[in-house]
Structure 1
């Protein structure tokens, strides 16, 4: 490496050690001269070392970087005399970096961890706040499977980051990683990507990992929700039992497209193309010739696999979903059955595929989990109005207060008052509205209409 010192673990180790020392030195300068366990910084009095570390990590990044660079340069000078074959021993480097004792909080939030909870600068935040949220903003869809030791701290940081950037949407944090979709101005979304990638757990995320589409804060009417869960996408199986580390192999968009082209040409009976999404998603858009399970939730996927092992046995399985996240755990579960020849998944999901092949093998619209409900991929309409069977693919929520289904009701039918998910649901809503006071308990019962009762919870596919 030109102009740098190499330890036995390489320059990354040295940079990390230099940052540790720089962080410790900075914190030490803030300590009260009275040695009363207090620190002063930015006209603020701190008595909690954890809060000091987080404050320094979030606000004084530039100071830390400059000091770390000086330390690395100092390594260069002091290491010349003891360098053999271009290397300085790791022990010498460690000794040099640990000359100043680093204070560490009792709860495990070490300085090198806190350093990564960074937020935009005051100037960046003020620039976002002074601008009106444009109509033509941007929505981000992203995920990262990675081991996280402190999900609540990551959750607090993410909530703070999104709030400062005036982003809305949903972010899920778990010990297995991060999953989110947020919307706001173009500038805010770019800053979000920048600061999320500065965290050690997400530093290897590329710009390609953040899928973008037109939208804004209004596409998430419930505002911002950042929460900690057991899974970043709810499959209903403990990640320690079925881990993302067991996922199937990834195919790039081009590789997936070429494979489908060959599949559609040769009609290979040993290959199964399966949609990992819910039935209402595949109803308005899917890959041609794909098996689309008629399940309502991803948490039904394990049971679906168990009841349909005959579909996948001795087959090469190609899987896809919206952005790729469900395929990670979904393919891992399928592989755990040890019945398939091979399990592969589309990297980046449908979202990435239609960016490059809008007129490829995916036909219809891509369902999204915000107020847009769908993104157009091409001009094909593969679904129909629930009532008149006319071609229609624009979802709206069922207007019955007891129901949470989505409705495909065309413009003409909606004008006639057909706004519920089915005729039975419409009757239930009408009955409840007649005497609300005497039937309050019924209003809060779980929905029960032909949309749910007449469809098998877990379908069994034909051989």
Structure 2
């Protein structure tokens, strides 16, 4: 029985007291028996945690009591066992490394498209203005190999810091098209969409990423599974661990 609640969440928000916040966040998670990873950076917070459902939700509620994290939204999935071996609370320069200091999502997001709207576009073969829609996978190549949207563009990058150079090399391929960048939970495609728009590409981000698509749409237009950064390895469109789905 799947009784362990897994959550992934991120928020671009200014954090000037990371060093002081780190032990507070860690102590709360320890007291609630949670395991996983929390990353704190000046640009925001990124977390993957698992544990008893009431404990996980209590932790998130405590975070949201801080006005900086009030808008934090979590994607939920379930597993039969704890998928993390320990708890880590890390300080990093960026919650997702791009090495482009001018890309500051906390100062303003790129436009987003909701899963239901993107589903409509894919079904009709174009966006609501009649333009071709290009799905751009911003994840690393090994993640893409687990599964991706049918027909998605994949530049075979090995790490996200390579994305800007790949975008420059392929910019002409995206001209006069509606580009929807996507990633696992939304964090990489949020930065990617901002960067693309700064280079003149009409780019949107998929709201909630692939996990948001699974939650609201399911497996439509999707092939395979979605890699996740824990011991479950990958999730199917019904948000179940891939291995469990195969075994059943």
Instruction: Normalising by structure 1, report the TM-score.
Output: 0.48
CA distance in 2, matches of 1:313, 1:142: 32
SS of the aligned residue for 2:37 comes to strand
CA distance in 2, matches of 1:148, 1:193: 17
1:332-343 map, 5 Å: 332-338=194-200, 340=201, 342-343=202-203
Shift of 1:332: 1.3
Residue 210 in structure 1 maps to residue 74 in structure 2:
yes
- Aligned match for 1:157, one of 12, 20, 24: 24
Q: Please say if residues 363 and 377 of structure 1, whose CA atoms lie closer than 8 Å, have aligned partners that are also in contact.
A: no
Q: Please say if residues 127 and 178 of structure 2, whose CA atoms lie closer than 8 Å, have aligned partners that are also in contact.
A: no
CA distance in 2, matches of 1:264, 1:249: 18
Q: Please say if residues 127 and 133 of structure 2, whose CA atoms lie closer than 8 Å, have aligned partners that are also in contact.
A: no
Structure 1: which 5+ runs fail to align?
A: 1-133, 379-392, 395-463
Higher strand proportion (structure 1 or 2):
2
Residue 242 in structure 1 maps to residue 242 in structure 2:
no
Give the structure with higher Rg (CA). 1
Shift of 1:179: 0.5
2:46 — aligned with what? Answer: 179
1:351 — aligned with what? Answer: 211
- Aligned match for 1:305, one of 151, 167, 175: 167
CA distance in 2, matches of 1:166, 1:319: 35
Shift of 1:231: 0.7
Q: Please say if residues 278 and 296 of structure 1, whose CA atoms lie closer than 8 Å, have aligned partners that are also in contact.
A: yes
- Stretches (4+) displaced over 6 A: none
Residue 227 in structure 1 maps to residue 227 in structure 2:
no
Shift of 1:265: 10
1:316 — aligned with what? Answer: 178
Shift of 1:246: 5.1
1:141 — aligned with what? Answer: 8
2:59 — aligned with what? Answer: 192
SS of the aligned residue for 1:170 comes to strand
CA distance in 2, matches of 1:225, 1:236: 23
CA distance in 2, matches of 1:195, 1:307: 44
Shift of 1:237: 2.1
Higher helix proportion (structure 1 or 2):
1
Structure 2: which 5+ runs fail to align?
A: 244-248
Shift of 1:320: 1.0
Instruction: Normalising by structure 2, report the TM-score.
Output: 0.88
1:121 — aligned with what? Answer: none
Aligned residues: 238
Q: Please say if residues 185 and 208 of structure 2, whose CA atoms lie closer than 8 Å, have aligned partners that are also in contact.
A: yes
CA distance in 1, matches of 2:81, 2:191: 29
Shift of 1:142: 0.2
CA distance in 2, matches of 1:216, 1:157: 29
| More RCO (CA 8 Å, sep 6+) | 2
CA distance in 2, matches of 1:288, 1:333: 24
CA distance in 1, matches of 2:206, 2:56: 25
CA distance in 2, matches of 1:313, 1:211: 33
RMSD in angstroms over aligned alpha carbons? 2.2
Shift of 1:312: 2.1
Shift of 1:174: 0.9
Q: Please say if residues 184 and 215 of structure 1, whose CA atoms lie closer than 8 Å, have aligned partners that are also in contact.
A: no
Q: Deviations over 1:331-379 (max 9, x none)?
A: 11112212x2x2111111111111222231122211100011101116x
1:105 — aligned with what? Answer: none
CA distance in 2, matches of 1:306, 1:354: 30
SS of the aligned residue for 2:153 comes to coil
